[in-house]
Amino acid sequence: MTRTIVRPWALRAGQALRHLTGADPGAAVAAAVVAGTALNYVLLRRHCDRAATTVAGAQVALLGAFGLYARNAVARAARGRTAAQNEAAASHNQLQKLIDNTESNIYMKRVDNGRYLLVNKEWERLFGVPRDQVVELTDSGVFPPDLAAELRANDLKVAASGRTVQYEETADSIDGVRTYISVKFPVLDGNGEPYAVCGISTDITDRKRAEDEVRRLNANLETRVRQRTAELEASTRELDAFAYSVSHDLRAPLRSLHGFSDALLEDYADVLDEVGQDYLHRIQRNVGRMGRMIDDLLNLSRATRADLERAPVDLSAMSKEIVTELRTADSGRAVTLLVPAGLTAEADPHLLRLALQNLLANAWKFTGKRAEAVIEVGRTERSGETYFFVKDNGVGFDMAYAGKLFDAFQRLHTTADFEGTGIGLAIVARVVRRHGGRVFAEAGVDSGATFFFNLMSGVKG
């Protein structure tokens, strides 16, 4: 709240109009003091919320127009009594047209007896009382007793405070209950005493109803989200149970197949011919492939369900560790690894290692027919975004089939040429998407391949 500022010229204007025209002193002073009061609104708006500030801004513009009329009244008063009377009447008509053509409802009431001095058309429309009838009435002649008493007490409080107030209120109208942002301020007479109270109320009913509808929709959405979350949690528990079953129950028969085939090869090698031994070796290879597929399925499940906890990750060191493991498992190969120092990211260390392990294992596998295999891990800029990449000089692939790369069980090379389960790149895609990133590849047939990925804001260095 701020104290009402009454400019000296405003008081002189009210006194001049009353002296020259014999007009009601409240109506004479009202227009003159509004411009000074408008200054209070600029200060008041700083304390309003965003929506209320927008409404208050429109009201300030209206009050500024009132002030313009008051300034003109001072100038006209000096031109003579008759001219002032004529121009005062014209100004009154212009002012009435101004307030009649605003969506806010405007009124002015006397302080001493509470009678209405003026209302605009919007006020008439909302409350169904013509202005020629409402003038000389008080709130008790327009509203129910309880509401009339409340409005009267509020007017007296504003007049006594000498300050401008803004508040939200509701009122019954011919359109039903309406909600308003209201601004109310005292109007002073020539002696600086509160003579009347002026109010400007802007209807925000539609906005309030929209807000209520948004709250209702949000509440429904929250309920649906909770239900959906509960369903997903139940599905996750079922997936956990399935993963355990895959891990435990399927491995037992695979171990049995591998064990008995080994026993046959050892104990009955002299009985089995080459064809029989080849059959047993095929069984063992497929048992091993099935075991790797189970591992990959479990990793795919883990990449989907595991909690993501970001931490600083050194991709340079991680890449070197993974390639060292690949060298140990396949020591007969000579592969050059190019990794710059300082590749770091904010990511889940376990999930990122899972993705990087599959990318590097692919690069190692598909460079298997190169005499001088080269694998490079690095960082680059693409379209204004930073990406990590894993590049190799292997057999590559036809980009016409790139859309299948990151789907589970999709393979661009036969098992006879390159072993694999077709799940590794699906794991990579899941991990990257869990981090909010993007993964894609560029390659050519017999020209190597490069896989790019980012981790949203997780790239550092």
**CATH code where residue 367 lies:** 3.30.565.10
The H-assigned helical ranges of 46-144 are 50-77, 81-100, 121-127, 131-134
Q: Specify the DSSP element, H or E, that contains 376.
A: strand 373-382
Confidence at residue 191, expressed as pLDDT on a 0 to 100 scale:
85
In a domain, 246, yes or no: no
Is the domain of 183 the same as that of 321?
no
Confidence at residue 59, expressed as pLDDT on a 0 to 100 scale:
52
Q: How far apart are CA 443 and CA 413, in angstroms?
A: 14
In this structure, of 152-161, 288-297, 425-434, the range with the lowest mean pLDDT score is 288-297
Is the domain of 323 the same as that of 195?
no
Q: Which of 203, 221, 252 is where one domain is finished?
A: 203
Mean pLDDT of 231-238: 71
Mean pLDDT of 66-92: 58
In a domain, 219, yes or no: no
What are the tokens at 289?
Answer: 């492939």
Most confident of 129-133, 156-160, 276-280: 156-160
In a domain, 164, yes or no: yes
**Residue bearing the bigger pLDDT, 422 or 104:** 104
In terms of phi and psi (left: phi > 0; alpha: psi -120 to 50; beta: otherwise), the region of 329 is alpha
Is the domain of 35 the same as that of 173?
yes
In a domain, 238, yes or no: no
Residue 396 dihedral angles phi and psi, to the nearest 5°: 65, -160
Confidence at residue 460, expressed as pLDDT on a 0 to 100 scale:
45
In terms of phi and psi (left: phi > 0; alpha: psi -120 to 50; beta: otherwise), the region of 456 is left
Q: How far apart are CA 292 and CA 97, in angstroms?
A: 85
DSSP string computed for 205-216: HHHHHHHHHHHH
DSSP string computed for 301-369: HHHHHSPP--EEEEHHHHHHHHHHHHHHHTTT--EEEE--TT-EEEE-HHHHHHHHHHHHHHHHHHTTT
Give every strand in the sheet of 385-392, ordered side by side: 335-338, 373-382, 385-392, 449-453, 439-443
Confidence at residue 413, expressed as pLDDT on a 0 to 100 scale:
56
Confidence at residue 343, expressed as pLDDT on a 0 to 100 scale:
93
Is the domain of 159 the same as that of 39?
yes
CA distances from 20 to 15, 28, 110, 252, 372 (A): 9, 11, 22, 110, 107
Torsion of CA 354, 359, 362, 367, to 10 degrees: -140
Q: How far apart are CA 441 and CA 198, in angstroms?
A: 71
Q: Which of 203, 219, 241 is where one domain is finished?
A: 203
Most confident of 35-39, 80-84, 290-294: 290-294
| Percent helix / strand / coil, the chain, rounded to 5 | 55, 20, 25
258 falls in which pLDDT band (50, 70, 90)?
confident
> Is the pLDDT reported for residue 251 higher than 60?
yes
CATH no. for residue 56? 3.30.450.20
**Residue bearing the bigger pLDDT, 251 or 136:** 136
Confidence at residue 157, expressed as pLDDT on a 0 to 100 scale:
92
Is the domain of 53 the same as that of 183?
yes
Position of tokens 């649906």? Answer: 224
Q: How far apart are CA 367 and CA 48, in angstroms?
A: 68
Confidence at residue 79, expressed as pLDDT on a 0 to 100 scale:
53
What SS3 class is residue 407?
coil
Position of tokens 């596998």? Answer: 365
> Is the pLDDT reported for residue 426 higher than 50?
yes
Confidence at residue 379, expressed as pLDDT on a 0 to 100 scale:
94
Is the domain of 187 the same as that of 323?
no
337-395: per-residue pLDDT in tens? Answer: 999 999 999 988 888 988 898 899 889 988 988 888 999 999 999 888 899 999 999 88
**Residue bearing the bigger pLDDT, 211 or 34:** 211
> Is the pLDDT reported for residue 144 higher than 80?
yes
> Is the pLDDT reported for residue 414 higher than 70?
no
In a domain, 254, yes or no: no
> Is the pLDDT reported for residue 34 higher than 50?
no
> Is the pLDDT reported for residue 38 higher than 80?
no
In a domain, 218, yes or no: no
Confidence at residue 406, expressed as pLDDT on a 0 to 100 scale:
79
Q: DSSP E strands: which ranges in 102-256? A: 105-110, 116-119, 165-173, 176-188, 194-203
**Domain total of the chain:** 2
174 DSSP assignment: T
Confidence at residue 51, expressed as pLDDT on a 0 to 100 scale:
39
Is the domain of 188 the same as that of 321?
no
User: What percent of the chain has a predicted confidence (pLDDT) above 70?
Assistant: 70
Q: How far apart are CA 283 and CA 158, in angstroms?
A: 95
Is the domain of 182 the same as that of 327?
no
Nearest to 361, CA basis, from 306, 308, 421: 421
Confidence at residue 374, expressed as pLDDT on a 0 to 100 scale:
93
CA distances from 319 to 148, 343, 359 (A): 80, 10, 10
In this structure, of 27-31, 159-163, 276-280, the range with the lowest mean pLDDT score is 27-31
Position of tokens 């007049």? Answer: 159
Confidence at residue 32, expressed as pLDDT on a 0 to 100 scale:
39
Specify whether the CB–CB gap between 44 and 56 falls below 8 A. yes
Specify whether the CB–CB gap between 428 and 347 falls below 8 A. no
Domain that holds residue 43: 8-203
Confidence at residue 220, expressed as pLDDT on a 0 to 100 scale:
87
> Is the pLDDT reported for residue 108 higher than 80?
yes
Give every strand in the sheet of 105-110, ordered side by side: 116-119, 105-110, 194-203, 176-188, 165-173
Position of tokens 């790139």? Answer: 402
**Positive or negative torsion for Cα 166, 167, 171, 176:** positive
Say if strands 459-460 and 449-453 run parallel, antiparallel, or are unpaired.
unpaired
In this structure, of 120-129, 277-286, 289-298, 360-369, the range with the lowest mean pLDDT score is 289-298
In a domain, 335, yes or no: yes
309-332: per-residue pLDDT in tens? Answer: 889 999 999 999 999 999 888 888
Q: Which of 184, 203, 222 is where one domain is finished?
A: 203
45 falls in which pLDDT band (50, 70, 90)?
very low
User: Is this prediction's pTM over 0.85?
Assistant: no
413 DSSP assignment: S
112-126: per-residue pLDDT in tens? Answer: 999 998 899 888 888
Alpha carbon distance, N-terminus to C-terminus of the chain: 53
Mean pLDDT of 65-72: 49
72 falls in which pLDDT band (50, 70, 90)?
low
In a domain, 62, yes or no: yes
Position of tokens 């509808």? Answer: 213
In this structure, of 63-67, 84-88, 113-117, the range with the lowest mean pLDDT score is 63-67
Is the domain of 315 the same as that of 175?
no
Is the domain of 333 the same as that of 459?
yes
Confidence at residue 113, expressed as pLDDT on a 0 to 100 scale:
93
For residue 127, the one-letter residue type is F
52-61: per-residue pLDDT in tens? Answer: 444 444 454 4
Mean pLDDT of 399-421: 66
